[in-house]
Structure 1
């Protein structure tokens, strides 16, 4: 990246704006991986962390204060430099108000915007805020998307004429994720749930599938992993786990604990109803271990779990009955399940490899 004229000899920094851990979720983890990749390649990085600390009015207030502080810092750096690029993780909802302000300042100051999209909330349905953001970013921006369907929707919903790069999260899992213990599964003994434990992430459907399998006498285990977001949900989930045979809760899992989780399960059940869902890391990480997934067809999941790497269920259909049937079929046909496990491993590698060039392009654009 060439130096800014107002700061001779100093390389222009990349200003990364978005959510960073903690808390750990898909967007914050990807942002952290991108930050680390740039720093490893000696690119100067300025981080403006806008992560929400939870739900409710207190979390919104904390985020507002972070945004005000972030905007103040960004204005100062934009004025005195050197900043060359703003790399912004696009919010899924009202946070796009803040995104518009950051990108507007960047455009006024001649700083190139790179927008990384992590949400389908404004791609499934056209939204006015997102339309304004696309207009403000302009044709000189670069949009980073997670799959070809996301690119198609971005162009279709907003007539986006700017450049796009398709960089699957699989590339980042491959480069920066935890150790993987790859193996082809031969039998279904344990199903798993990994993620924030909330109604819109499908914990109710997962427990219903576990109950169906227990009632059918399959003797399968079911493991729930992840943090609770609301006390109300925590109460009824813990009661349900206590009441169901073979179901256990192991708490939040990161690092080696997450690798242990994937090494002990055979199928990931992912009944997400989350409107922002795009290319979930939990599914990719499971596939990287050889764990096929059963998921509702949201976001990029139809591309991810293709070619026999699991089962995608139409969002208009009953998830619990279809997932239960598929697990029972795999349990009674080990060869078919082994093929699904092999397909999950292969599909993960294909997605990671397909994004290698685009990922390097992105890093080069950011100054690496």
Structure 2
């Protein structure tokens, strides 16, 4: 049985990569396939700490380097698996870890849960670091659309695609979105980050309100670079106090009940690091039609007018048109709802992710290793 060292992020903090890391760590089928040792890559304890510095964080990084070194010596893994940060301070932290792994194991596999290499590669130092980081490295991406981010350093021969997946929260889902719904219940689920399109959504709702279309939007998520007060100030300025409800952070059953009670999920992101948003998969699991943008690997999830709607980013007017269409077209809304649920169960469950993950790893082993 292959010996593997997995360097991955697990919560806290909670973000896409750490959630997927926890799924891998807890997966019975993955753990039965290899002799695995796990090390948590996180040196931040909250979303606010990510990308930051500080003496305490530097000590955590030194401790992480020492822990990885000791484990590599003890385990002597056939290969190592890592979920690195694409650029910036996170990448500088991950780079020496990667060099250690390359030194003490036969081959190195990375699973990219974020993007941004293309934004840093023109810098001479970063370019030098990337060349050594990606040299003789097998790369797993979440979607084929993300290849352009690493194409300068990675050949397609060493490239594998493994979409994310999540547990099915509602395996016996019964559709309740039959007939007219007033007001149309919109859901936005994300931390309050400007680039996730939160203000675009507010302005789109203001445009729809001016056309006297009944609508209500529930916002779930913790504070990010937009504070609760900034959000509420914008809501008041746009005269949307009756149309917007902000609930803050919600988890588990409470969050699922809110998703299930909604009619449409809207996620107008233009976040530069967006890859494969798990919130879209959550919405699809409950059969919500999704309105989103062509960012990162979203095109591998949402097929325009088949299981959702794709709109231009930074375009509240076009977002308003899409929301209005679903408010007025019950037949389209139901079609997208059923298609979203079907695509989720076929392509984006946790079981499907485990299958794709093992297929990718086993193909890498078969192609490159003799264990």
Query: TM-score over 0.5 for the alignment?
Result: yes
Report the Cα distance in structure 2 between the residues aligned to 1:303 and 1:161, rounded to whole angstroms.
Answer: 18
Give the alignment partner of residue 60 of structure 1, picking from 31, 35, 53.
53
Match of 1:104 in 2: 99
Partner residue, 2:210: 215
Matched, 1:35 2:31: no
Distance 1:76 1:154, change over 3 A: same
User: For the residues of structure 2 that align with 1:49 and 1:126, how far apart are their CA atoms?
Assistant: 23
Shift in Å, 1:133: 3.3
| Structure-2 change in CA distance of 1:131 and 1:147 (3 Å) | farther
- Equivalent residue, structure 2, for 1:5: none
Q: Deviations over 1:243-286 (max 9, x none)?
A: 52131112212221221121011111112121110110001111
Alignment CA distance shift 1:358-1:58 (3 Å): closer
In the alignment, structure 2 segments of 5+ residues that lack a partner are 366-371
Are 1:348 and 2:344 matched, yes or no? yes
Whether 1:263 aligns to 2:260 is yes
SS at match of 2:151: helix
2:128 and 2:209 map into 1 onto residues whose CA distance is 48
Aligned counterparts of 1:183 and 1:212: Cα–Cα separation in 2? 32
The answer (yes or no) to whether the contact 1:211–1:244 under 8 Å persists in 2 is no
User: Per-residue deviation at 1:38?
Assistant: 5.6
Distance 2:41 2:355 in 1: 28
1:198 corresponding residue in structure 2 = 193
Say if 2:293 is the partner of 1:296: yes
Taking structure 2 as the reference length, what is the TM-score of the superposition? 0.83
Shift of residue 194, structure 1, vs aligned partner: 0.4
Where structure 1 has 5 or more consecutive residues not aligned to the other structure, the ranges are: 3-11
Residue 362 of structure 1, CA deviation: 4.2
Structure 1 residues 72-91: aligned runs within 5 Å: 72-91=66-85
- How do residues 93-132 of structure 1 correspond to structure 2 at under 5 angstroms? 93-94=87-88, 95-123=90-118, 126=121, 129=126, 132=129
**Counterpart position of 1:250:** 247
Residue 24 of structure 1 pairs with residue 14 of structure 2: yes
Q: Tell me the residue number matched to 2:41.
A: 49
User: Structure 1 269/57 Cα, relative in aligned 2: closer, same or farther at 3 Å?
Assistant: closer
Cα pair distance change 1:84/1:60, threshold 3 Å? farther
RMSD: 2.9
Equivalence for 2:356: 358
How far the C-alpha of 1:56 sits from its partner, in A, is: 6.3
- Mapped contact 2:218–2:246 kept (Cα < 8 A): yes
Shift of 1:217: 2.2
